[in-house]
Structure 1
């Protein structure tokens, strides 16, 4: 059997032991009786693993699963960005669906689970690349090594859009002047827009004065040479050639620095199609945690929309984009903290469909108001099944039925799974 390529870190202590892998756990590790967790091991495999305690390292495959495939990335096994490239797509996707079903069961929730949407390789339009000091011409750039603060200096990334992959040498050059201060640990948040790459850089030491004028000049020159659309430092403009923009349904939105977009355009389309279908027939819609309008503009083709989000720049971008989409039923947008000031049941009196797409913490405060309201349909989009089931339980206890749910595998080869769901009274 081919030995997995080990990550560059100290060898695990303790004699190797033979283990039979029973299933794959929540983080993507193989699980043997004990439990003992072994990265890169699959159900039914016999493996030789070293280490002590619950966490071991795979040393050798003694009997490989038929579901094992050759990982497409040369950095896999060391890079911490992906966990499951070695698993065939069908059983991998089925595992994510079953994990989601088990999460629902913990809150006694049952529903129709639709076929899962699965993102394909080379479709990620949004990545966060860590930088470490290299030389004057190029930094080291990539993802963190498993269980380490160091990183794998990547030259390919099969999950990313080809335009991002092609830009890796330019991004390494862009990051090189960011290390004037020893405490700087930059991260390049790269978004592929319709007008080019938008890069917002965080982690540059500011207490010592930030980047010098010379370093900023080098940064701008290298951004221009790479034909990037925009480069910002924690939202502050460092270089701008074109305004990054994307099409969201019928509208063209100019993105504020660091704006949130769904990680892949194809997953966005799948979730938007689900949301629009579920909202059909609405007379007034609330789009809560609307961001820059991922669903807002599409929903406004059905009925008037009240849109709210806690990020004022996102709401401003949404409002400005309304001029690019004539013929909508009407949009009222407000910057509003939906945790501290959720839309109250009394404010929802004229709303018959509510959509919410919260961050990982979920929408507990807003869900409580939806539960008190007379809204007839609620459509939830969630990046965290654990907080989704908490919020879903409250809606069901208030008289809603969880009608159907679509699993969304947007973060390919990770343990992460998302979803879209619809509730009705």
Structure 2
């Protein structure tokens, strides 16, 4: 049988043992009786695993699952970016949906899912690449090794858009001048936009004064040579050939540094189609946690929109893009911290449809106000099913009914799944 390419770890203690994998756990590791967790294994497989305690290392697959496939990425097994490339796509997606059903069931929420949106390889337009010191001409660049601080220096990234993959050598050259201080551990947040790559760099030591003038000049020269649209250091422009833009509905939005976008354009299209259809017939819409307007501009073709987000630069970008989208029914933007100062039920009197797309922590405070309000329909978009079910329970207890749910798998070959759902009062 084929041996996996396991991640480097401290030498396991104890002799290898034979285990039978019963299921795949929440983080993507196979689970044997005990429980014992073994990475890169699948249900029904007989494996040889080494180590002590509940976490073992895979030594060999003695009897393979029929659902095992050859991982498409040469870095799989060492790179910590993907955990499930060895699983055929159909059972892999079924496992994600089963876990999502289980999460909903914990709050007594039951519904038949719509067919899931599943991202294809080569479609990620937003990635975070870690950099470590290499040579003067090229840093080591990639994702962290599984269970380690160090990283695997990648040559390809199977999940990423081909235009990001093609830029990996140039990104390595860009990162090389960032290591003047030994404590620097840069991360390059790379976003593919309509007019080129936008790179926001974090993790460069600043207490010592940040990058020298010479390092900044090298950074700008290498960005220019690669024809990057913009390079920023913690949001401060280090190089700018053009302002990165994205099209959201009819609007062309100029992105602030490090702005949030859905990880794939396909998932954005699936989510916006779902949200816009669910908002049909609205008289006035509240778009809460609106960001730069992922849903706002499509919703404003349906009805006037009150668009709120905690990020002032995102609201400024949204407001600036309104002039590029004539014919909208109106957008009223506001920068507001919806955790400390949620939109109150009394402020939602004229709103009949509310959309919210919060960070991973969910929208507990805002959901409480939606539950108190007279809003008749709520459309929730969530990147975290655990906080979604907490917020959903509040809405259901207030008299809403969960009517539709769309699972969204845009973080391919990970254990992560997202969703959008409609609640009707």
Q: Tell me the TM-score normalized by structure 1.
A: 1.00
SS of the equivalent of 1:155 reads coil
CA shift for structure 1 position 305? 0.1
Quote the residue 1:324 is aligned against. 324
CA shift for structure 1 position 93? 0.3
Deviation digits for residues 46-75 of structure 1 (CA, Å, limit 9, x no counterpart): 000011111011100110000000000000
Question: In structure 2, how many angstroms separate the alpha carbons of the residues matched to 1:310 and 1:173?
Answer: 35
Question: In structure 2, how many angstroms separate the alpha carbons of the residues matched to 1:235 and 1:147?
Answer: 29
Question: In structure 2, how many angstroms separate the alpha carbons of the residues matched to 1:355 and 1:6?
Answer: 43
* 1:359-378 matches, cutoff 5 A: 359-378=359-378
Deviation digits for residues 99-148 of structure 1 (CA, Å, limit 9, x no counterpart): 00000000011122111110000000000000000010000000000000
* 1:230-245 matches, cutoff 5 A: 230-245=230-245
* 1:292-331 matches, cutoff 5 A: 292-331=292-331
SS of the equivalent of 1:110 reads coil
Question: In structure 1, how many angstroms separate the alpha carbons of the residues matched to 2:395 and 2:14?
Answer: 50
Deviation digits for residues 165-208 of structure 1 (CA, Å, limit 9, x no counterpart): 00000000000000000000000000000000000000000000
Quote the residue 1:251 is aligned against. 251
TM-align CA RMSD? 0.5
Question: In structure 2, how many angstroms separate the alpha carbons of the residues matched to 1:334 and 1:10?
Answer: 51
Query: Which ranges of structure 1 fall in alignment gaps of 5 or more residues?
Result: none
Question: In structure 2, how many angstroms separate the alpha carbons of the residues matched to 1:401 and 1:112?
Answer: 13
Task: Say whether 1:391 aligns with 2:395.
Answer: no
CA shift for structure 1 position 8? 2.8
Quote the residue 1:418 is aligned against. 418
Conserved 8 A contact 1:22-1:33:
yes
Quote the residue 1:174 is aligned against. 174
How many residue pairs end up in the alignment? Answer: 425
Task: Say whether 1:20 aligns with 2:20.
Answer: yes
Question: In structure 1, how many angstroms separate the alpha carbons of the residues matched to 2:56 and 2:9?
Answer: 14
Quote the residue 1:103 is aligned against. 103
* Moved beyond 2 Å, runs of 4+: 8-11
SS of the equivalent of 1:354 reads strand
* 1:79-98 matches, cutoff 5 A: 79-98=79-98
CA shift for structure 1 position 12? 1.6
Quote the residue 2:129 is aligned against. 129
CA shift for structure 1 position 14? 1.5
CA shift for structure 1 position 7? 1.7
Deviation digits for residues 199-230 of structure 1 (CA, Å, limit 9, x no counterpart): 00000000000000000000000000000000
Quote the residue 1:46 is aligned against. 46
Quote the residue 2:143 is aligned against. 143
Quote the residue 2:36 is aligned against. 36
Conserved 8 A contact 1:385-1:419:
yes
Deviation digits for residues 366-422 of structure 1 (CA, Å, limit 9, x no counterpart): 000000001000000000000000000000000000001111001000000000000
Conserved 8 A contact 1:112-1:403:
no
Question: In structure 2, how many angstroms separate the alpha carbons of the residues matched to 1:126 and 1:14?
Answer: 42
Question: In structure 1, how many angstroms separate the alpha carbons of the residues matched to 2:81 and 2:325?
Answer: 37
Question: In structure 2, how many angstroms separate the alpha carbons of the residues matched to 1:137 and 1:354?
Answer: 51
Task: Say whether 1:351 aligns with 2:351.
Answer: yes
Query: Which ranges of structure 2 fall in alignment gaps of 5 or more residues?
Result: none
CA shift for structure 1 position 319? 0.3
